[in-house]
Amino acid sequence: FWSKSLKVFAAVSNCFTGSIPLTLCNSTSINTLALDGLQSATSCRRALFPASLDGIVAKGLYSIDNPLTGGVPRCLFQMANLTTLHLSGNGLTGELPSDLTITPTLTDLSLSHNKLEGKVPSAVLNRDWTNLDLSYNRFTGELRVNHSRSYSPDSSIYLEQNRLS
């Protein structure tokens, strides 16, 4: 089932039992991991989203509207080939670490419609995004505008419905 050439893993609208096989976490060929529409039962959430996904090398991780809880695992931001990380609408809580390190390949980050709070880490604020969506959370603090930064005309940044100043 798990081959070295597996590029896409889609587990959309399922409720698996157990955990993601470690062979998947060690894959170097996966570029898309889709975990959309997981069931709302706690056992379903824990089975498909273990505490650590270290070792997964992916270009896109989609987990939109899954009823996950807890914080965002730090390792997701450090996946070597990750370009897209979408964890919107999951009820995720807690803060993003102030010393967060983000892989250079990540250009599309969507953490909208969660319950994340605290200050937005400088690693998130001080980079050029194709898409950044932190809307509908509980982020606080002051956003400083860097007038020397030039964003691509195709860039999108969404920060509405937070507690930012």
Q: Which domains, ranges and CATH numbers included, belong to the chain?
A: 8-164 (3.80.10.10)
**Residue 98 neighbours by CB distance under 10 Å:** 11
Cβ neighbour number for residue 3 with a 10 Å cutoff: 9
- Reported as a single tens digit per residue, the pLDDT across 104-128 is 888 888 888 788 999 999 999 988 8
What integer pLDDT is reported at residue 16 of this predicted model?
47
Plot region of 118 (φ>0 → left; ψ -120 to 50 → alpha; else → beta) = left
Q: Nearest 10 degrees: CA dihedral of 42, 136, 145, 85? A: 40
Confirm whether pTM is higher than 0.85. Answer: no
